[in-house]
Amino acid sequence: MKFRNRRIVAVAAVALSASLGLTACGGSDSDGGAKASGGGGGGDVSITFMPKNLGNPYFDTSDAGGKKAVGEIGGKFQEVGPDAASPDAQVPFINTAAQQGVKALVVSANDPKAICDALNEARDAGTKVVTFDSDTDPSCRDLYVNQATAEGIAKAQIDLISQQIGDSGEIAILSAAANATNQNAWIDLMKKDLADHPNIKLVDTVYGDDDDQKSFDQTAALLQKHPNLKGIISPTTVGIAAAARYLSTSSSKGKVALTGLGTPNQMKEYVKDGTVTSFALWNPEDLGYLAAYAADALVKGDISGKEGDTFTAGKLGEFKVGADATVLLGDPFVFTKDNIDQFNF
């Protein structure tokens, strides 16, 4: 009986203190906000970065870019986030950030809807919300910083392959699953871009299902089936790494060009051994950098998220807000053996 009583008391105490804490925060939003930025003096902007999950090299890179930008602005940088990228894992962190009264929250959403309510509560409390890398519903944020457009991604890959094979010869595409929406959108756009390269002929499109083993075997089959193949485009990070692995050990190494979308860590080995000359992806560091400047511009009131608003993002120059309150980072970033060692994701 005693034990049970004690437990009830404990639960009651926790509940009471929690409700006190909540009411305290709810009642003094503006105070809380002032406190958070008060430490560094007058015009400081506190910007909190929230990746999909912590310990993810991709987001480590983007948040490093964000930190750099916040440093240039003279604001206060903070990085918080869940350990696992599950849909609603970010909600408590968003609530905490709102209670702390941070001026801006830069989020890569694990789910377009699950964190919506929490984000809107934060916005009601005066926090500006910028999404990057992965968007929420447009109604839950002030601005979305988009890393790349489908058109830009398609064009970058066609440009790379045409450079590498001297703008003529047979090429093939190694995609992910046959029903992958983004892959198919890119492939369609690439086919359109190929109209400008009459000497390049797309002879085959095969699917590796984003499986290392299958992509690897499909690459072997492609090379066998098309002895005159000059190049392969793989617009998927798994595919390009598996294709590079196969090429690097085959007699086609150096004869068949390979490009596509990949991450530097996966591709380092193959760029250094000469299997791959260059491949594309956006630069997550620039993405985080731009997102921080966009958040700052929102907080300062330079932009409101309206189409046509412009702001300057440090070394990256001037950006314009597009439709649906979206800012585009720009053309994909090209990785070569000269710059690949600067990245770790």
Partner 1 sequence: MSDTLLVEPSAQPAAARVLGTLLRSREIAIGAVLVLLVVLTTLKSSGFVFSSDGWRNLLVSPALLLILAVGQAVVIITRNVDLSVGSTLGLTAYLTGKVFIASPGMPVVAVFVIGLAFGGLLGLVNGLLVAYGRVPAMVITLGTLYIYRGVFLSWAGSDRVNADDFPQGFNDLGTASVLSVPVVMLIALAVMAVVGYYLRTARGGRELYATGSDPDAATLYGLPVIRRVLVAFVLSGALAGVAGVVYAARYGTVSSGAGSGLELQAVGAAVIGGVAIAGGVGTVWGAALGAVLLITINRALPMVGISDFWQRAVVGALIIAAIVLDRVLAARQERQLVAARDLARREPDRRKAGTPA
Read off φ and ψ for residue 38, nearest 5 degrees.
-65, -30
d(CA 284, CA 302): 24
Tell which one of 171, 173, 206, 233 touches partner 1 (CB under 8 A).
206
Classify each residue of 71-83 as buried b or exposed e, where b means 16 or more C-beta atoms within 10 Å of its C-beta. Answer: eebebbbbbbbbe
For the bound state, the minimum distance from the C-beta of residue 283 to partner 1, rounded and expressed in Å, comes to 19
* Residue with Cβ nearer partner 1 (216 or 282): 216
Task: Enumerate residues 6+ apart whose C-beta is below 8 A from 294.
Answer: 130, 143, 145, 303, 311, 313, 319, 327
d(CA 314, CA 311): 10
Tell which one of 199, 213, 304, 310 touches partner 1 (CB under 8 A).
213
Does the protein bind partner 1 through residue 111 (CB under 8 A)?
no
Does the protein bind partner 1 through residue 220 (CB under 8 A)?
yes
CA separation, residue 334 to residues 194, 281, 343 (Å) = 19, 7, 12
Tell which one of 76, 99, 245, 279 touches partner 1 (CB under 8 A).
245
Does the protein bind partner 1 through residue 118 (CB under 8 A)?
no
Tell which one of 242, 298, 313, 329 touches partner 1 (CB under 8 A).
242
d(CA 211, CA 209): 5
* Residue with Cβ nearer partner 1 (111 or 137): 111
Give residues 266-305 in contact with partner 1 (rule: CB under 8 A).
266, 268-270
For the bound state, the minimum distance from the C-beta of residue 109 to partner 1, rounded and expressed in Å, comes to 16
* Residue with Cβ nearer partner 1 (154 or 247): 247
Does the protein bind partner 1 through residue 252 (CB under 8 A)?
yes
For the bound state, the minimum distance from the C-beta of residue 203 to partner 1, rounded and expressed in Å, comes to 12
Does the protein bind partner 1 through residue 56 (CB under 8 A)?
yes
What number of other Cβ atoms are within 10 A of residue 23's Cβ? 10
* Residue with Cβ nearer partner 1 (100 or 266): 266
Give residues 145-204 in contact with partner 1 (rule: CB under 8 A).
178
**220: enclosing H helix or E strand:** helix 212-225
Q: Which residues pair with 172 in a beta bridge?
A: 204, 232
Which two tokens mark 277? 């000359």
For the bound state, the minimum distance from the C-beta of residue 341 to partner 1, rounded and expressed in Å, comes to 11
Task: Report the Cα 321 to chain-centroid distance in Å.
Answer: 18
Does the protein bind partner 1 through residue 62 (CB under 8 A)?
no
Give the amino acid at 282: W
d(CA 212, CA 219): 11
What is the 8-class DSSP label of residue 201?
E
Does the protein bind partner 1 through residue 251 (CB under 8 A)?
yes
Tell which one of 26, 40, 43, 55 touches partner 1 (CB under 8 A).
55
**257: enclosing H helix or E strand:** strand 257-260
**237: enclosing H helix or E strand:** helix 237-248
* Residue with Cβ nearer partner 1 (60 or 121): 60
Per the listing, tokens 């988009």 go with 146
* Per-position x/- string for 65-104, each x denoting binding to partner 1 as judged by CB under 8 A, each - no binding: -------------------xx-------------------
Contacting residues toward partner 1, per CB under 8 A: 53, 55-58, 84-85, 178, 206-207, 210-213, 216-218, 220-221, 223-225, 227, 238, 241-242, 245, 249-252, 265-266, 268-270
